[in-house]
Amino acid sequence: MATGGDPAASFVDTLPKAELHVHLEGTLEPEDMFAFAARNDVDLPWASPDELRAAYSYTGLDRFLELYYRGCTVLRRRADFHELTAAYLRRAAAQGVRRAEMFVSPQSFLDAGVPVADQLGGVLDAIAEARTDTGIDGALLVIAQRHRSEAEALELLEVLAPHRESLLGVGLGGAERGNPPSRFARFFADARRRGYRLTCHAGEEGPPEYVREALDCGVERIDHGYTAAGDPALVARLRDEGVPLTMCPLSNLRLRVTDDLSTYPIAALHDAGVVVTVNSDDPPYFGGYVADNYRALGLPDPTLAALARNGFTASFADDATVAAGRRAVDDHLAACG
């Protein structure tokens, strides 16, 4: 359906959105990866951006993460984090994103000798500039890698301490199977004491039990939560406790979490009263930014609007920002309906 002044813009393109599950390192477009590699003198195993694109075929999360971590090695300087974030925020704003809560995972960069102040400083400068340039409201969450020890996650909180006031929250990501949230209970407790909002990747490849454990750790939002859909008691708990899911349809498709988006459980979870949201995870790696994820669902406009409204509800923004976002979605639906 055409909307506003641009006859080519679709309902989904201009639908006001909050994106709550996107990894900044996972927004690295192939051409930019090669440009960063060249200027930082980093070797890549692919001969060209097209050869890298051809490698975007995964048998599961672990195979994807191998490629993703290799791509991360090109990010070495504050300017790299700045440019990466600025580029994502420009693309997100062009896709109707008004609020973006983004992840960065500092541990591998710290191992490579990139100071955390450079990583976060570059990202936070880009967030401030984008707020002025396009009005997009960005915020940053830091992810600890679950294949590492809890001691390393606790150490990360110490390293982040000087930046506490600039950060919205923390989460847990990386290889899920065999790395349950319960192994990070002290990490979540310490993060909560420090005033961070809490999220956790759970139920992407891991069982519903991992989602339960994340809830037991006091997590306020579940990243993915796909496998919870098959567990009615857990669905009821998510509904009753009002804990949202940040779902990523194209990621789940590409990582073979699901084999068919026509049966994707987001509409069923919505009907069951769970606050479900639509997000991109790692857009170039999975074939689409957030609007592409909305489109891939093939749901009617009013349902997509309800999911977009959920995005603002599930965000960690202040009440006025949440209310304004929800109102903008309602106005958009009314104008297009």
List the binding residues for Zn(2+): 21, 23, 201, 281
The minimum distance between CB 14 and ligand HPA, in angstroms, equals 27
CB of 176 to ligand HPA, least distance (A): 6
State the binding partner of 101 from ligand HPA, Zn ion, none, CB within 5 to 8 A by kind: none
Q: Does 181 bind ligand HPA (CB under 6 A)?
A: no
Yes or no: say if 191 and 170 are a contact pair by the CB < 8 Å rule: yes
102: number of Cβ within 10 Å: 24
Binding mask 66-105 for ligand HPA (x = CB under 6 A): --x-------------------------------------
Binding mask 269-288 toward Zn ion (x if CB under 5 A, else -) reads ------------x-------
SS3 of 124, please? Answer: helix
Residue among 19, 25, 29, 204 flagged as catalytic = 204
Q: Per rule CB under 6 A, is residue 173 in the interface with ligand HPA?
A: yes
Among 23, 99, 197, 270, binds ligand HPA (CB under 6 A): 23
Cβ-defined contacts of 325-332 (< 8 Å, 24+): 325/16, 325/18, 325/98, 325/99, 328/16, 328/98, 329/15, 329/16, 329/305, 330/305, 332/3, 332/11, 332/14, 332/15, 332/16, 332/305
User: 227-240 in b/e burial notation, b at 16+ Cβ within 10 A?
Assistant: bbbebeebbebbee
CA-based torsion, 227, 25, 35, 95: positive or negative: positive
Residue list for the binding site for substrate: 282
Is 66 noted as a catalytic residue in this protein?
no
The number of beta carbons lying within 10 Å of the beta carbon of residue 335 is 11
Crossing angle of helices 116-133 and 78-94, rounded to 10°: 30
- Binding-site partner at residue 174 among ligand HPA, Zn ion, none, CB < 5 to 8 Å by type: ligand HPA
Partner that binds at residue 118, options ligand HPA, Zn ion, none, CB closer than 5 to 8 Å by kind: none
Question: 91-100 burial, b if ≥16 CB within 10 A, otherwise e?
Answer: bbbebbbbbb
Shortest Å distance, C-beta 94 to ligand HPA: 22
What span, in angstroms and rounded, lies between the C-alpha atoms of 228 and 204? 9
CA 102: distance to chain centroid?
Answer: 6
Among 119, 179, 251, 280, binds ligand HPA (CB under 6 A): 251
Residue from 19, 32, 101, 204 in contact with ligand HPA (CB under 6 A): 204
Is 206 near ligand HPA (CB under 6 A)? no
Residue written as token pair 């191998």: 66
Contact 270, 276 (CB under 8 A): yes
Q: Taking the complex as a whole, how short is the minimal distance between the CB of residue 171 and Zn ion, in angstroms?
A: 9
In the complex, residue closest to Zn ion by CB: 281
Which of 291/329 has CB closer to Zn ion? 291
Q: Which is nearer to Zn ion, 105 or 310 (CB)?
A: 105
* Among residues 201, 270, 309, 326, the one that binds ligand HPA under rule CB under 6 A: 201
Closer CB to ligand HPA, 23 or 99, in the complex:
23
CA nearest 312: which of 3, 96, 2?
A: 96
CB atoms under 10 Å from CB of 88, counted, come to 29
Which parts are annotated binding residues? 21, 23, 201, 281-282
Residues that bind Zn ion (CB under 5 A): 281
Residues that bind ligand HPA (CB under 6 A): 23, 26, 61, 68, 173-174, 201, 204, 251, 281-282
Residues annotated catalytic, as ranges: 204
